[in-house]
Amino acid sequence: MQKRQLGNSGLEVSALGLGCMGLSHGYGPPVVEKDGIALIRRAFDLGVTFFDTAEVYGPFTNEDLVGAALEPFRDQVVIATKFGFTFGDDGKQQILNSKPDHLRKVVDACLKRLRTDRIDLFYQHRVDPDVPIEDVAGTVKDLIAAGKVKHFGLSEAGVHTIRRAHAVQPVTALQSEYSMWWREPEKEVLPTLEELGIGFVPFSPLGKGFLTGAISAETQFASDDFRNIVPRFTTEARKANQALVDELGRIAGDKGVTSAQVALAWLLARKPWIVPIPGTTKLHRLEENIGAASVELTEGDLTRIEEALSTITVQGDRYPADLKARAGR
């Protein structure tokens, strides 16, 4: 697979990474450990060198899984994880916490779970309004000096926060949602990243599965599937948003590829410093997604896609209100 650099940082990764969250968290029951390990290692065999996890996924179990899977070839891959939460008495309630003393403890716990002596890319998972971003960036700067972290990242941060953090410790990458059905980053975020030389890592590049065409208004999700509380995944919203999937399917059919591959290739074509991280629990979907790195979209293809997207208004918020409030700070 081709490689890309995340902005001006010099951090080189595969053009497509693997978002590992869904193996342990968010989309129904976690996979059996041996199956998760097999999928991660298959991704490596297919050229993926960029793997994304977080302490909150599980919590903690996803980092354990990723660490076990990647240990045999640790020096050949880039591991990204995220900090910024403590958890309630039930072990699941997520409480924002990016205090420096907490962060110093978290990094050691992450290193242990990931079976490594350094974290290649350490993201603040969500901006903590109670902790100045300068304090967060300064703490990560200290961790970089100590050799525990190589690069600093932010997730779902707004442009003002990005600039403030970058002034203290250069930000290597921003990870935020971006896809054909969530283009908000194009307004302010992408121009800011380009100006500052920061890479962009889109999560949910397939619209949490919707852009693949495998989800319809009749689809039933597992009881613990995150999409059950997402307004964009109500039955009514899925019916309204089917037009986008239908048009994407027609474009893909004309090219002899899949809808997922077109959606990922479209992101890759946006900027050379964009690295999507699609996730899956299925080997055949993994192979399909990785195939997108070889899909060439012509200027005519891109024009057709843009014209199609301009006629469709996606229905439904991407987050419920409480989670929406944490994004874009």
Q: Which of 57, 123, 178, 319 is catalytic?
A: 57
Measured CA to CA in angstroms, residue 173 lies from 30, 68, 184 at distances of 28, 25, 17
Peptide bond into 202 cis (omega under 30): no
Residues 81, 154 contacting (CB under 8 angstroms):
no
Tokens of 183: 């283009």
Confidence of residue 192 (pLDDT cuts 50, 70, 90): very high
Tokens of 58: 């599980």
Give 99-103's long-range contacts (Cβ < 8 A, gap of 24+).
99/128, 99/131, 100/131, 100/135, 100/136, 100/138, 100/139, 103/136, 103/139, 103/140, 103/143
Confidence of residue 314 (pLDDT cuts 50, 70, 90): very high
pTM over 0.95: yes
Half-sphere exposure of 283 (CA within 13 A, CB side): 11
On whether residue 81 sits in a domain, the answer given is: yes
d(CA 268, CA 188): 19
Tokens of 39: 């999928």
From the CB of residue 76, how many other CB atoms can be counted at a distance below 10 Å? 9
Give the pLDDT score at 89: 83
Helix (H, G, I), strand (E, B) or coil at 202: strand
On whether residue 224 sits in a domain, the answer given is: no
Tokens of 8: 């001006």
Range(s) of the domain holding residue 165: 3-207+273-294
- How does 174-202 read in b/e, with b if 16+ C-beta sit within 10 Å? bbbbbbbbbeebeeebbebbeebbbbbbb
On whether residue 329 sits in a domain, the answer given is: no
Is the pLDDT assigned to residue 92 strictly greater than 90? no
Classify residue 25 as exposed, middle or buried by CB count within 10 Å of its CB (0-12, 13-18, 19+).
buried
d(CA 306, CA 318): 21
Enumerate the β-bridge partners of residue 171. 152
Percentage of the residues of the chain whose pLDDT score is greater than 90: 98
User: pLDDT tens digit string along 240-292?
Assistant: 999 999 999 999 999 999 999 999 999 999 999 999 999 999 999 999 999 99
- How does 62-73 read in b/e, with b if 16+ C-beta sit within 10 Å? bbbbbbbbbeee
How many domains, the chain?
1
Confidence of residue 90 (pLDDT cuts 50, 70, 90): confident
On whether residue 231 sits in a domain, the answer given is: no
Is the pLDDT assigned to residue 82 strictly greater than 90? yes
From the CB of residue 5, how many other CB atoms can be counted at a distance below 10 Å? 16
On whether residue 225 sits in a domain, the answer given is: no
Is the pLDDT assigned to residue 17 strictly greater than 90? yes
* Residue 197 belongs to domain with CATH number: 3.20.20.100
On whether residue 321 sits in a domain, the answer given is: no
Confidence of residue 91 (pLDDT cuts 50, 70, 90): confident
On whether residue 229 sits in a domain, the answer given is: no
How far does CA 71 lie from the centroid of its chain? 22
Q: What is the 8-class DSSP label of residue 131?
A: S
Whole-number average pLDDT of the chain: 97
Question: At a CB cut-off of 8 Å and minimum separation 6, what does 282 contact?
Answer: 39
* Known active-site residue 178: no
On whether residue 253 sits in a domain, the answer given is: no
Residues 287, 18 contacting (CB under 8 angstroms):
no
Tokens of 276: 């999507």
135: part of which helix (H) or strand (E)?
helix 133-145
